[in-house]
């Protein structure tokens, strides 16, 4: 390895000082791998750990009394996962491996240290957490107030935008290792209806599909129909304090 994934991610926004880099590398001393489908953390379990994603996709989700599942968010390499365990002794959601994954776990005490020693990093992590919340709010609006087709389109747009952060801005074809059931659980739809909506998007020439590869054919119309705005493009870090 050598570098830290989180450092790589944060370096997208600020030029890290050497002490800051050291602090981030220390968060990723450990490394743990899980198989596709593995339950990494179960809802209501005690949890002192956060994870940095190194490789693979995950999702965090909740199970409801009626047996259905709501996926809150998909997590990609560079993401900080399990943040909700900061505020609660017990995990508020389950974390599941969508593909085979490699994670770097660290205890929340280490984050406390980061807040003390590196206020700029703390503020940056806070900022990214706020951006994630806005992204969740976008999904809420999507599910609450738009059609099934728009919800699916919106999820695809969000995934594309986030994959481009790490993968390069020019990408127009993506490996999306999600089942239609997972897409449904993220958008509040059934797998059957997701299938019909995806077919509609293909038939209308907005996207192309080949197995798990999805190609963006007409991103403008896709984003328009989805009511999508790319939050990650407009993150403002102007308020951050000076590095120590």
> What residue 70 binds from its own copies, DNA, none (CB within 5 to 8 A, per partner kind)?
its own copies
Residue 169's contacts (CB-CB under 8 Å, 6 or more residues apart) are none
Q: What is the largest CA-CA distance in the chain?
A: 55
- The two three-digit tokens of residue 95, written as one number: 């974390």
Element at 221 (helix H, strand E) = helix 219-226
- Residue from 70, 99, 102, 195 touching its own copies (CB under 8 A): that is 70
What distance in Å separates the CA atoms of residue 54 and residue 4, rounded to the nearest whole number?
Answer: 9
What distance in Å separates the CA atoms of residue 162 and residue 160, rounded to the nearest whole number?
Answer: 5
81 close to 6: Cβ distance less than 8 angstroms: no
End-to-end CA distance of the chain: 27
- Residue from 190, 218, 219, 230 touching DNA (CB under 7 A): that is 190
- Residue from 2, 15, 18, 87 touching its own copies (CB under 8 A): that is 87
- Residue from 42, 69, 193, 221 touching DNA (CB under 7 A): that is 193
Angle between helices 108-117 and 119-145 (to 10 degrees): 120
- Residue from 88, 171, 213, 215 touching its own copies (CB under 8 A): that is 88
Segment 127 to 186, residues that bind its own copies, using CB under 8 A = 127-134, 136-141, 143-146
Which part of the chain contacts its own copies (CB under 8 A), choosing from 30-38, 97-105, 107-115, 210-218?
A: 107-115
Kindly list the residues in this chain that would bind its own copies in the complex (CB under 8 A): 48, 62, 64-66, 68-70, 72, 83-84, 86-90, 92-93, 108-109, 111-113, 115-116, 119-120, 122-123, 125-134, 136-141, 143-146, 187-188, 224, 227, 231, 234-236, 238-242, 244
């Amino acid at each position: 390895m050598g570098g830290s994934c989180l450092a790589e991610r944060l370096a997208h926004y600020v030029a890290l000082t050497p002490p800051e880099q050291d602090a981030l590398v220390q968060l990723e001393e450990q490394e743990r791998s899980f198989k596709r489908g593995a339950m990494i953390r179960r809802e209501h379990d005690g949890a002192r750990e956060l994870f940095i994603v190194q490789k693979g996709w995950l999702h965090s989700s909740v199970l409801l009394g009626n047996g259905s599942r709501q996926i809150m968010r998909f997590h990609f390499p560079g993401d900080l996962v399990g943040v909700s365990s900061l505020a609660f002794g017990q995990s508020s959601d389950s974390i599941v491996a969508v593909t085979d994954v490699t994670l770097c776990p660290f205890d929340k005490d280490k984050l406390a240290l980061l807040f003390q020693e590196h206020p700029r990093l703390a503020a940056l992590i806070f900022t990214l957490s706020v951006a994630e919340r806005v992204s969740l709010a976008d999904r809420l609006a999507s599910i609450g107030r738009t059609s099934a087709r728009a919800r699916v389109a919106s999820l695809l747009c969000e995934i594309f935008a986030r994959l481009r952060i790490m993968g390069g801005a020019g990408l127009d074809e993506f490996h999306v290792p999600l089942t239609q059931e997972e897409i449904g659980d993220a958008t509040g739809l059934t797998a059957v209806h997701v299938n019909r909506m995806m077919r509609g998007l293909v038939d209308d020439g907005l996207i192309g599909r080949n197995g798990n590869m999805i190609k963006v054919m007409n991103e403008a119309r896709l984003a328009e129909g989805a009511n999508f705005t790319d939050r990650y493009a407009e993150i403002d870090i102007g308020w951050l304090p000076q590095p120590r």
